[in-house]
Copies of this chain bind each other. A is one copy, B any other.
Amino acid sequence: MRLAVIGAGAVGRSVVELAGEYGHEVVAVADSSSAVVADGTAGAGADGAVGVDPDAVVARKAERGIVGDDDPDDALAADYDVLVEATPTTLDDAEPGFSHVTRALERDRHAVLANKGPVAERFGDLRAAVADSDGEIRFEATVGGAIPAVSTVEDIEPGHVTAVRGVLNGTANFILTRMAAEGLDYDHVLAEAQDLGVAEADPSFDVDGTDAALKCVILANVLSFGAADDPADAREFTLADADVEGIRDVPGSALRLAAEDGRTVRLIGEATGDTVRVAPRLVPENGTLAVSGTQNIVQIETSHAGRLNISGRGAGGPETASAVLGDVGRLE
């Protein structure tokens, strides 16, 4: 497939670097201020493949802060099969990601999202755009990095899934894991996580539960729209529908008390077709939900097959790019 990769952060760059290994070709890359579009000869190999040179894109981004000398709009207009939306997640109108995806759909092209905004905040609008298009959307990379949460729910079929819950934010999980292991308070561990690059300078998106809530909102939309016979009957969720509590107020003493009882605290998100909740919860210390560090876990409760647990790396460039390229493979 010919890919246009919009967004050149860790995920976008990894998609550019790995696409060839998965048998795909990158024909355009854009960041917010620049782009490179294959001119029909650049990178042409003996097999006639024509694409941008992945190494050159990554080098230009590192050295000059741009991906190429073209205009970002040229990448959106390029002749691709699949648009990969890997710009940063934005809330509310979810722009510019939402427009990138709908422009692809209007041209009857597919879109694969790593950007949570459009699927969390405007799922109904997206479904309507898909209904009018020959293109499809996929968004495995928006939930749990390398963990195949969305496609596993799709394979089981959303109507046979009663709930999905789990640990969906590695930063919050790293902080809770370290607080429990070292007996330290939140502020100490946050500073350590920031030094290690695990937490951002402004950590609120992770520690207030927003990121985990967006993932649960996406899962709730998958369950709700997937189970409805008519999309018009499906309930659409946005972040505003989520009941969210973060980890800032979890005292070190709570973790010490929990440990005396063989338990610990994890930031657990849960989605059903009716509700979305994220909050710190007590879980057994050696239990399935008590994944360590930056690991994520998803538990899928099914009608006929019991509970499935899937754990793995919930973030990271290559991990998330692997989910993006798995989605591209499903579109073939």
Contact = CB atoms under 8 A, between A and B. Distances in A.
Interface in A255-311: 286, 288, 302, 304-311
A312 B322 contact: no
A11 interface: no
List the number of copies, as a whole number. Answer: 2
Interface stretch (A51-59, A82-90, A145-153): A145-153
Interface residues of A, number: 37
Interface string A310-332: 11110010110111001001100
B308 A157 contact: no
A302 to B, nearest CB: 7
Contact of A312 (B159, B306, B326): B306
Contacts of A310: 308-310
Contacts of A156: 322, 326
A99 to B, nearest CB: 29
A202 interface: no
Contacts of A160: 21-22, 322
A156 B18 CA distance: 13
Given A146-B308, A304-B319, A309-B311, 11 more contacts: A18-B304, A146-B306, A148-B152, A148-B308, A157-B326, A288-B311, A304-B318, A304-B322, A305-B319, A309-B309, A309-B310
